[in-house]
Structure 1
Amino acid sequence: MIKKIIKYLYNNLKGIKVDFNSKIPLNIIVKDKDSRYPVSIVNSTFNNTSFGLGCKLNNCLCLGEVQLGRFVSIFGPGTVLSAIKGHIKIGSFCSIGQNVSIQESYHNYNNVSSYLIGKNILKDNDSDDFISKGNIIIEEDVWIGSNSIILSGVRIGRGSVIAAGSIVTKNVPRYSIYGGNPAKEIKKRFENSKIDIIEQSKWWEWEVNKIIENKDFFYNKSNIN
């Protein structure tokens, strides 16, 4: 219990609000600090994750190298991000729902057995147990609905929405709504003229105070229409 209390206090001093049920390393990296927007971690486990300002994570599991931008929201239960051969990078202002699986690697079915022989029996370097099509990159302001699966080597473009229950096997263009198994484009979120305005603004790079000052921009009350 004393060790848990020390770890709890240590993390809070670093700008992280973490509960006693979470398992995170002491060398956790928080890229930015602002007392108004601490990183909040509840009932979650991480081993090599870096966090941007204001991230909120609840009931999720991150394995391997996972990079989170500012204000990323991941709410489980059942949400798993797993990177074994490469990494997973999630841009700022992304929202990820319950039971989402983001898998950068998968079992090496080219071996004699697809079972994890190296890890579980040979006690050898288990990297040969897995193969990968590449890193997973999720750009800024992406919303991934519950029960979706994002597979190896996929890039999801900025501003996109992945409908609940989708399986994403290929790249998703920016500002698209994708859904289904395999996921296909349903429609664009906005007309090209509006997308151009959003892209030119680069609002995802704004400081917090600038975001607050431009409230109308985010509620379509400015000249974005």
Structure 2
Amino acid sequence: MPVSPDKNKLYPNEQIRSVCYINNLPGRPNVEIGDYTYYSDNGRSPESFYDNIQHHYEFLGDKLIIGKFCALAEGVTFIMNGANHRMEGFTTYPFNIFAGGWEKVTPTKEQLPFKGDTIIGNDVWLGQGVTVMPGVTIGHGAIVAANSTVVKDVEPYAIAGGNPARTIRKRFDDEVISLLLELQWWSWDEQKIFEHLEELVSSSDADTLKRLLKLP
């Protein structure tokens, strides 16, 4: 009896080809995606996922890092640092990209706003149409509501929503969140996850987590 779907298949369930494990798509520089993280798209092939990473230019060096077991819904978009314009002058208009002599004001990398890497933790759910802005960190276990724009960090196991996204509430109390971050179930092997699936999807109490933490 199998204990997990094949994490090395693009379409782990051939009957649902609107969902794919995106780390099995051809690689892209400065993009790291963990096992079992999927993208779902009912309008286009989910293989179009990389089209949703916008303004990502290798020479800038910023990374998009997405953890394991994340659920990314249709239209989730990552805006990277290449979207930024120079801001210290009277105008933000990017004259240089049109050439014709205007390239004389091409900015250096240091003159452009740079927010750093965009990091999505493990077990994160991004709802349909979510936009994540450059340099944001979304913590483990967080949920971001559909059509939200994330402009600042989201704490682990928080539910955030809106434009700009704000924390609506925590998913669990502080003790449970602390225990979940200690447990890091997403780092378990497939057999251990299989044996404790019911607890992972049905439990929300500290006692269960304390017992799971004692497992070998």
Query: 1:194·1:224 contact (CA, 8 Å) conserved in 2?
Result: no
Distance 2:75 2:122 in 1: 21
Distance 2:31 2:99 in 1: 21
1:167 counterpart residue number? 149
1:36 counterpart residue number? 6
After superposition, what is the alpha-carbon deviation per residue over 1:6-26, rounded to whole angstroms, capped at 9, x for unaligned?
xxxxxxxxxxxxxxxxxxxxx
After superposition, what is the alpha-carbon deviation per residue over 1:20-71, rounded to whole angstroms, capped at 9, x for unaligned?
xxxxxxxxxxxxxx983323069xxxxxxxxxxxx6139x998642100111
Amino acid at match of 2:85: N
Query: 1:63·1:81 contact (CA, 8 Å) conserved in 2?
Result: no
Rg: which structure is higher? 2
1:81 counterpart residue number? 53
1:224 counterpart residue number? 208
Q: Does 1:199 align with 2:181?
A: yes
Q: Which piece of structure 1 moves more, 74-83 or 211-220? A: 74-83
Once the two structures are aligned, what percentage of the paired residues are identical?
27
- Give the direction of change, closer, same or farther, for the CA distance of 1:179–1:212 in structure 2 (3 Å limit): same
Q: Does 1:107 align with 2:84?
A: yes
- Give the direction of change, closer, same or farther, for the CA distance of 1:206–1:71 in structure 2 (3 Å limit): same
Q: CA deviation at 1:138?
A: 0.6
Amino acid at match of 1:113: Y
Amino acid at match of 2:73: G
Q: Does 1:186 align with 2:183?
A: no
- Give the direction of change, closer, same or farther, for the CA distance of 1:63–1:100 in structure 2 (3 Å limit): farther
2:66 counterpart residue number? 90
- Give the direction of change, closer, same or farther, for the CA distance of 1:182–1:61 in structure 2 (3 Å limit): farther
Q: CA deviation at 1:220?
A: 2.8
Q: CA deviation at 1:178?
A: 0.3
Distance 1:62 1:41 in 2: 16
- Give the direction of change, closer, same or farther, for the CA distance of 1:197–1:151 in structure 2 (3 Å limit): same
2:15 counterpart residue number? none
Q: Does 1:142 align with 2:127?
A: no
Distance 2:151 2:92 in 1: 25
Larger relative strand fraction = 1
- Give the direction of change, closer, same or farther, for the CA distance of 1:154–1:117 in structure 2 (3 Å limit): same
Distance 1:66 1:39 in 2: 19
Distance 1:118 1:39 in 2: 43
Q: Residue 202 of structure 2 aligns to a residue in which SS?
A: coil
Distance 2:7 2:37 in 1: 12
Amino acid at match of 2:74: Q
Q: Would you say how many aligned residue pairs link Structure 1 and Structure 2?
A: 177
Structure 2 unaligned blocks of 5 or more: 13-19, 210-216
